Amino acid sequence: MKEELMPRSRSDPVVKKLDNPLFHSIFTPELNTLAQLFRKYNYQLKLAGGAVRDILMDIKPADLDFATDATPEEMKIMFEKENIRMINNKGEKHGTITSRINDKENFEVTTLRIDTHTDGRHAKVKFTKDWKLDALRRDLTINSMFLDFEGRIYDYFFGYDDLQKRRVVFVGNPTCRIKEDYLRIFRYFRFYGRIAEQPDIHDESTIIAIKENIHGLEGISGERIWNEWSKILSGNYAKELTLKLLECGITRYVGLSENPNIKNFEIVYDTSKKNNISLQPITYLATMLKDENEVLQLHNRLKLSAYERDLALFLVRYKEDKPSVNLKFWKRILIHWKGNVVNARSYICELLNSKQYFSLAKDVEKLVIPRFPVSGDMLKQYVRKGKMMGIVIKELKDIWLDKDFQTNAEELLQEVPRIISELEDKKLEKDNMFLSK
């Protein structure tokens, strides 16, 4: 890389030495074994990226990622010599070797690398021994630091300073970082929600770069977008960050209509937060949608789970209605639900919470509905046609509900002849009307 393209960096990257309980807590016997192994073969090994950031924020990292100056081939030779098992070779072409120590703990170690070619989604890499060049290819300054096993923090691009200021910016030129992987647009907002202390103090050049490159999201898979966006919607400043994303022009690239119902989204979000109610990420998006077609359009782009898709469809179907405050109304929906009743209960509670019926939502959540006492086998002696069977069961469930679930199978079966007779009379009346026309 030409020196003039290198952003401002520290001549001495070591900015701090840690010696606290959190730092020492990451050292399991297995990690100590890994560290000793790399020292034995004279390779450098450091903790990298998000784990370093979390430790500096006094958060125990959920995952540990490591970087090394050893090449994948050198790591493989080393692990084979030491009889260390290696698993999952899918990351090898990108420089990642996963070792399993003591058949207890897995460690992903990635060779220092630079991106030689990127297309906005994937990168071709070249291995390097230069820690600064590896830091340069990372997305945000706060994610570009390293931590060695003596506790020294290595920070080439002022990520430590940015973390102290709760400032979220890209490493170097934001346009270059975004063009390397357009998903970084969403990653920027996700980390902003985690790090920043105010909802709207973005670096101006960052927002300009995002707006100028928002079109690149068109080539990013919906699953990757939704994975990031759902975390934003579950985190701090979800409303403000989603509004900023919309301002940047994401609608056409994420499956939303050109004119989403932003006002409704804001009302539902503000009300839920005021009442300390946590709604699901897809619920917030559903508040912006007009009809089922818009739900399916969003689903086709983001590849929602079946649960999320069906929840959004349910919310949109009932969005104009004032929910019934009669608990029996919701019991009826549950007993007639075709599919997973646990999900149905969740959909109803989500709808009621989004419409500020918080107490009713709690009542629905606590509902106990017993098992319906009549089975299809019990009805076979009365009903021969499959379509008729479904209609009879529906009628019996309504009787069962009206009697507050106190009716037993024998009592319900006594109702079957009457139900069939009434259904046949209705059919005969309908046929006669047709013939008289």
231 and 358 co-located in one domain: no
What per-residue confidence (pLDDT) applies to 2? Answer: 39
Convert the pLDDT of each residue in 128-174 to its tens digit.
Answer: 999 999 999 999 999 999 999 999 999 999 999 999 999 999 999 99
Ranges of residues in the chain with a pLDDT under 50 are 1-4
183 and 154 co-located in one domain: no
Task: Look up the domain containing 229 and give its range.
Answer: 173-254
Cβ-contact 141, 169 below 8 angstroms? yes
207 and 118 co-located in one domain: no
Convert the pLDDT of each residue in 364-406 to its tens digit.
Answer: 999 999 999 999 889 988 887 778 898 999 999 999 999 999 9
In 3D space, the residue among 175, 237, 245 whose CA is nearest the CA of residue 200 turns out to be: 237
DSSP state of 90: G
Residue 157 belongs to domain with CATH number: 3.30.460.10
344 and 304 co-located in one domain: yes
AA letter at 215: H
AA letter at 45: L
407 and 282 co-located in one domain: no
Q: Point out the domain boundary residue: 165, 199, 221.
A: 165
146 and 37 co-located in one domain: yes
Q: Which residues are registered as beta bridge partners of 127?
A: 113
Residue 215 belongs to domain with CATH number: 1.10.3090.10
Q: Which residues are registered as beta bridge partners of 14?
A: 154
150 and 75 co-located in one domain: yes
Start-to-end CA distance of the chain, whole Å, equals: 86
68 and 144 co-located in one domain: yes
What per-residue confidence (pLDDT) applies to 436? Answer: 58
280 and 379 co-located in one domain: no
Q: Point out the domain boundary residue: 208, 234, 254.
A: 254
17 and 157 co-located in one domain: yes
What per-residue confidence (pLDDT) applies to 331? Answer: 96
- What angle do helix axes 341-354 and 306-317 make, rounded to 10 degrees? 50
Q: Which long-range contacts (CB under 8 A, 24 or more apart) does 381-385 make?
A: 382/413, 382/416, 382/417, 382/420, 383/416, 383/420
SS3 label, residue 169 = coil
In 3D space, the residue among 270, 269, 271 whose CA is nearest the CA of residue 285 turns out to be: 269
Q: How many domains does the chain have?
A: 4
What per-residue confidence (pLDDT) applies to 429? Answer: 66
DSSP state of 7: P
Q: What is the rounded CA–CA span in Å between residue 200 and residue 219?
A: 28
Cβ-contact 328, 251 below 8 angstroms? no
Distances (CA, A) of 321 to 15, 317, 318, 355: 59, 9, 5, 10
Distances (CA, A) of 382 to 56, 392, 410, 420, 426: 72, 10, 13, 9, 18
What per-residue confidence (pLDDT) applies to 38? Answer: 98
Torsions phi, psi of 173, nearest 5? -75, 115
311 and 365 co-located in one domain: yes
What per-residue confidence (pLDDT) applies to 382? Answer: 86
Q: What is the rounded CA–CA span in Å between residue 113 and residue 161?
A: 24
What per-residue confidence (pLDDT) applies to 1? Answer: 37
Cβ-contact 413, 374 below 8 angstroms? yes
Token pair recorded at residue 241: 């960050």
301 and 406 co-located in one domain: no
SS3 label, residue 402 = helix
Q: Point out the domain boundary residue: 332, 349, 369.
A: 369
Cβ-contact 142, 163 below 8 angstroms? yes
